[in-house]
Amino acid sequence: MLTGPWLIYGANGYTGELVARLAKQRGHRPILAGRSAAEVCSVADALALERRLFSLDDPPRVDEGLAGMHLVLHCAGPFSRTSRPMADACLRTATHYLDITGEVAVFEALAARDAEARERGVMLLPGAGFDVVPSDCLAVHLKRRLPGARRLALAYGGLGRLSRGTATTAIEGLGGGALVRRDGVLTPVPLAWHTRAIDFGEGPRRAITVPLGDVTTAWHSTGIPDVELFFAAPPALRLFARASRALGPILGSETVRRFLTARVRAGAPGPTDEERRKGRAFVWGEVEDETGRRARSRLSTAEGYTFTARAALAIVERVLAGQAPTGFQTPAKAYGPDLVLEIEGTARVDEPSGA
């Protein structure tokens, strides 16, 4: 059993608590942390784990909170607000940083600190959850199948019910359009820029262009210059996505965001244990080279939040075992494309290559 001192920040959140529970089951003793004393203590008491209470707006207190820690698994989002102060503290205190973000701006900001992290001997690995472990591993696997690939498309399907934190994070991005990578450069495009039929293994489903973290991570992991992300969306969501092009300024307004966030906060924290047990999630990918040769592969995994807890913990265990390449890392760059196959409940299928 690995016992290095490590900390889960945001341990009272839906996902942070899932990771804490799984970690305890596997014999780990993470320190549970967050800013809300009563909530963090309630989780820590239930799991009989140590706790540390600190908010992220007081840098010396954050440094104190990380004292003696080998790594932090940061589960407090939206990460657009929380990643920077935690990454700053990790770099000051030489603590490895892992998070479960899916936000493009957060991946970009951490990637820009690669040299600083190397200098400090720190690993910065965002996206240790469902977004982006499977898709990043699939991207590198596809590049392995077609080394000359110039174009990469990745798609997410079957995600099921969102947690409050995921929905709140999605609301933050409303009105912002989508992003693709073109010739290695992040390029804004309208939401639902393209629609395509994608077979995740159960027949074709319509999917639309969305902004997801892989526009950064797939580029860093594979060097493929053109990357586009898709999300399988029911007809109403596709219609909403297209309408949002015109409604962008309204959807992005503070009033609308506050209203939607309040609605989300009044709802359930996330999928029930039963929903997570029954749920499945899917990722599909396709690469193409200059001659038109293509390769396609797909993954099916455990439900997204269950997968996130398992994947984040698998990465924590590697870091504790000393496998922590310094600098900005993606899951597949640090641990290879087959990392995903080690996450319980994952299967990968390769379609035959062809034109």
> Which positions lie near ligand NAP, rule CB under 6 A?
10, 12-16, 34-36, 39, 55-56, 75-79, 81-82, 100-102, 129-131, 163-166, 169, 269-270, 305, 308
Closest separation in Å from C-beta 229 to ligand NAP:
13
Closest separation in Å from C-beta 14 to ligand NAP:
3
First to last CA, the chain: 48
Nearer to ligand NAP, 165 or 331 (CB): 165
CA separation, residue 300 to residues 53, 99, 161 (Å): 37, 22, 17
Closest separation in Å from C-beta 119 to ligand NAP:
27
Closest separation in Å from C-beta 52 to ligand NAP:
13
Nearer to ligand NAP, 100 or 117 (CB): 100
Closest separation in Å from C-beta 127 to ligand NAP:
6
Nearer to ligand NAP, 214 or 226 (CB): 214
* DSSP type of residue 33: E
Measured CA to CA, the distance from residue 332 to residue 137 in angstroms comes to 5
Q: Where are the alpha helices (DSSP H) in the chain?
A: 14-25, 37-47, 59-66, 79-93, 104-111, 114-120, 133-145, 164-172, 214-222, 235-251, 254-265, 273-278, 304-320, 331-335
Nearer to ligand NAP, 100 or 180 (CB): 100
Nearer to ligand NAP, 200 or 305 (CB): 305
A 10 A CB-CB count for 324 gives 19
Closest separation in Å from C-beta 264 to ligand NAP:
9
Nearer to ligand NAP, 165 or 211 (CB): 165
Fill in the amino acid letter for 113.
R
Give the residue at shortest CB distance from ligand NAP: 165
Q: Write the CB contacts of 294 (distance below 8 Å, at least 6 apart in sequence).
A: 146, 286, 287, 288, 353, 354, 355
